[in-house]
């Protein structure tokens, strides 16, 4: 990497950092003023320092999700600004006069994009799953606050799961009720109640499911079928029962996009069993495809900014930036349209995920001969 490459890469990170902190700052200001009443109502009369600390903790977690959302967009904006500054400061002509091709200047931008993609993968696979419970909490609530429960159905076993309350950080369901269908699980339709239930993720020693404490009726009173004996398991304490299911505490919170906070490995593991509805499963499969294609999409879009911002036939940097922004908006609209068509089964999931990549690659090849040389 040459000195000029390091200079461009440093400018890229400078613009990216300013853009990210400005975006997070605007989000905190607008969202904080909008939801200040919610923070105050759930603060329980705490002092000002504790109140501000709770707000700071909430928005610290939200900043991770903000990075997930705006990271790819800021990568493109940073590349556009770097090339616009090159044009404004007359730094491009000396490089071209020295025989350096224009596309050589995109190398540090691609390196910066790869670094951003690495940070996005680290954030998606490690950071977001670790704080998923905090991100799903209602605004202003504490870790031990009880929130409402949305009843869910396990479409693989047809078990209905409900309860009176949920503590997300503990993955605890208060006063749970598991309705066992007949004749698939039990000889007759039965509601299995308990004092509380704690969700355990899959390990090498046991499957994923809920640990029910002090159940009514007890396990010995159940009339389980062969399939039911594989899903309703006894524990050492005769009053406890373990129910095997992939419906976790995140789904019980009622969030329709809880899967976005899971790691790819957890998401793939859940998709291997027909636990969710068809629409939900399609959304999750499409999201997995989007995670796989996002690094390539970011690289192609960065390559596309070069011929759009540094067009040979146009010397107006404002016009070039406007054209580039318009093309990027169209690509974003195409991606959203393909996402929607894939979810409603009007387009195959793999084609819906890869169509924006194909279109972006075609645009890069089409505009490559129009770059300023």
Q: What percent of the chain has pLDDT over 90?
A: 14
pLDDT at residue 349 is higher than 70: yes
pLDDT at residue 294 is higher than 80: yes
CA distances for 120 relative to 249, 294, 323, angstroms = 25, 10, 27
Q: Do 123 and 14 reside in the same domain of the chain?
A: yes
Q: Which two tokens stand for residue 121?
A: 């993968």
| Average pLDDT, integer, range 220-237 | 87
Three-state secondary-structure class, residue 186: strand
| Average pLDDT, integer, range 331-357 | 85
Identify whether 318 is part of a domain: yes
* Residue 366 to residue 139: CA distance in whole angstroms: 47
Identify whether 257 is part of a domain: no
* Residue 52 to residue 290: CA distance in whole angstroms: 36
pLDDT at residue 170 is higher than 70: yes
| Average pLDDT, integer, range 55-73 | 88
pLDDT at residue 143 is higher than 70: no
pLDDT at residue 263 is higher than 90: no
For the CA atoms of 108, 112, 115, 121, what is the dihedral angle to 10 degrees? -130
| Average pLDDT, integer, range 2-24 | 90
**Would you state the pLDDT for residue 256?**
64
Identify whether 147 is part of a domain: no
Q: Do 156 and 135 reside in the same domain of the chain?
A: no
CA within 13 Å, CB half, 256: 5
pLDDT at residue 295 is higher than 80: yes
Q: Which has more pLDDT, 240 or 284?
A: 240
Identify whether 269 is part of a domain: no
Q: Which of 217, 252, 287 is the last residue of a domain?
A: 252
Please enumerate in sequence order all residues whose Cβ is within 8 A of that of 280, keeping only pairs 6 or more positions apart, or say none. Answer: none
Three-state secondary-structure class, residue 159: strand
Residues 74-122 pLDDT 10s: 999 999 999 888 878 877 777 777 777 777 888 888 999 999 999 999 9
Three-state secondary-structure class, residue 138: coil
**Would you state the pLDDT for residue 242?**
93
Q: Which has more pLDDT, 17 or 282?
A: 17
Q: Do 284 and 340 reside in the same domain of the chain?
A: yes
Q: Which has more pLDDT, 345 or 126?
A: 126
* Vertex 238: Cα angle to 232 and 239 (nearest 5): 80
Is residue 132 a contact partner of residue 261, using CB atoms and an 8 Å limit? yes
* Residue 57 to residue 28: CA distance in whole angstroms: 12
Domain boundaries, position 117: 3-139+278-370
| Average pLDDT, integer, range 41-70 | 79
Peptide bond before residue 110 is cis, with ω within 30 degrees of 0: no
* Residue 308 to residue 190: CA distance in whole angstroms: 65
**Would you state the pLDDT for residue 158?**
83
With bands split at pLDDT 50, 70 and 90, how would you rate the model's confidence at 142? Answer: low
Q: Do 198 and 220 reside in the same domain of the chain?
A: yes
Q: Do 38 and 132 reside in the same domain of the chain?
A: yes
Identify whether 259 is part of a domain: no
Q: Do 105 and 171 reside in the same domain of the chain?
A: no
Q: Do 178 and 97 reside in the same domain of the chain?
A: no
| Average pLDDT, integer, range 16-45 | 82
Q: Do 226 and 352 reside in the same domain of the chain?
A: no
Q: Do 364 and 318 reside in the same domain of the chain?
A: yes
Residues 246-258 pLDDT 10s: 888 777 776 667 7
Nearest to 160 by CA among 174, 150, 170: 150
Q: Which has more pLDDT, 332 or 252?
A: 332
Which of 8-12, 188-192, 238-242, 367-371 shows the lowest per-residue confidence on average (mean pLDDT)?
367-371
Q: Which of 252, 287, 308 is the last residue of a domain?
A: 252
Q: Do 219 and 296 reside in the same domain of the chain?
A: no
Q: Do 228 and 322 reside in the same domain of the chain?
A: no
Phi/psi for 57 (5° steps) reads: -65, -40
Identify whether 23 is part of a domain: yes
Identify whether 270 is part of a domain: no
For the sheet with 209-213, list strands across it. Answer: 165-167, 172-174, 196-200, 209-213, 241-244, 232-234
Residues 177-186 pLDDT 10s: 999 888 888 8
Phi/psi for 352 (5° steps) reads: -65, -35
**Would you state the pLDDT for residue 118?**
93
Q: Which of 206, 234, 252 is the last residue of a domain?
A: 252
Which of 7-21, 144-158, 209-223, 345-359 shows the lowest per-residue confidence on average (mean pLDDT)?
144-158
- What does 310-358 look like in DSSP terms, one character per residue? SBSS---HHHHHHHHHHHHHHHHHHHHHHHHHHHTTSS-HHHHHHHHHH
* Residue 164 to residue 179: CA distance in whole angstroms: 14
Number of DSSP helices (H) and strands (E) in the chain, helices first = 13, 10
Max Cα-Cα span within the chain:
87
Phi/psi for 242 (5° steps) reads: -115, 125
pLDDT at residue 37 is higher than 90: no
Identify whether 366 is part of a domain: yes
Question: What contacts 24+ positions apart, CB below 8 Å, involve 360-368?
Answer: 360/297, 360/300, 360/301, 360/304, 360/331, 361/300, 363/304, 363/327, 363/331, 364/300, 364/303, 364/304, 364/307, 367/304, 367/307, 367/308, 368/103, 368/307
Q: Do 54 and 133 reside in the same domain of the chain?
A: yes
Tally of domains in the chain:
2
Three-state secondary-structure class, residue 88: helix
């Amino acid at each position: 990497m040459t000195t000029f490459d390091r200079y461009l890469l440093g400018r890229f990170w400078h613009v990216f950092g300013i853009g990210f902190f400005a975006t997070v700052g605007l989000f905190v200001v607008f969202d904080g003023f909008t939801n200040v009443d919610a923070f105050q109502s759930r603060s329980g009369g705490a002092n000002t320092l504790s109140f501000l600390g709770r707000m700071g903790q909430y928005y610290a977690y939200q900043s991770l999700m903000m990075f997930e959302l705006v990271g790819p967009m800021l990568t493109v904006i940073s590349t556009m600004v770097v090339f616009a500054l090159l044009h404004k400061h007359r730094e491009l002509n000396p490089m071209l006069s020295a025989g350096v091709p224009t596309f050589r200047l995109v190398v540090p931008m691609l390196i910066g994009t790869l670094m951003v993609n690495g940070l996005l993968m680290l954030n998606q696979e490690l950071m977001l799953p670790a704080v998923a419970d905090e991100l799903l909490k209602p605004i202003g609530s504490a870790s031990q606050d009880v929130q409402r429960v949305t009843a869910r159905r396990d479409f693989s076993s047809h078990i209905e799961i409900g309860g009176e309350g949920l503590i997300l950080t503990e993955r605890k369901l208060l006063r749970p009720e598991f309705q066992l269908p007949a004749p698939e699980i039990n000889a007759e339709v039965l509601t299995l109640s308990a004092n509380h239930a704690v969700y355990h993720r899959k390990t090498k020693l046991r499957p994923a499911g809920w640990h029910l404490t002090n159940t009514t009726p007890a396990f010995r009173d159940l009339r389980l079928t062969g399939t039911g004996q594989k899903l309703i398991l006894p524990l050492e304490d005769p009053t406890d029962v373990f129910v095997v299911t992939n419906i976790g505490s995140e789904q019980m919170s009622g969030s329709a996009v809880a899967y976005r906070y899971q790691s790819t490995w957890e998401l793939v593991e859940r998709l291997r069993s027909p636990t969710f509805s068809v629409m939900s499963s399609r959304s999750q499969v499409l999201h997995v495809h989007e995670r796989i294609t996002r690094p390539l999409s970011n690289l192609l879009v960065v390559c596309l900014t070069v011929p759009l911002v540094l067009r040979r036939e146009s010397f107006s940097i404002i016009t070039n930036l406007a054209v580039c922004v318009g093309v990027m908006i169209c690509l974003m609209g195409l991606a959203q349209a393909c996402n929607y068509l894939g979810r409603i089964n009007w387009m195959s999931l793999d084609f819906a995920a890869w169509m924006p990549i194909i279109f972006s690659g075609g645009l890069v090849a089409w505009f490559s001969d129009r770059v300023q040389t």
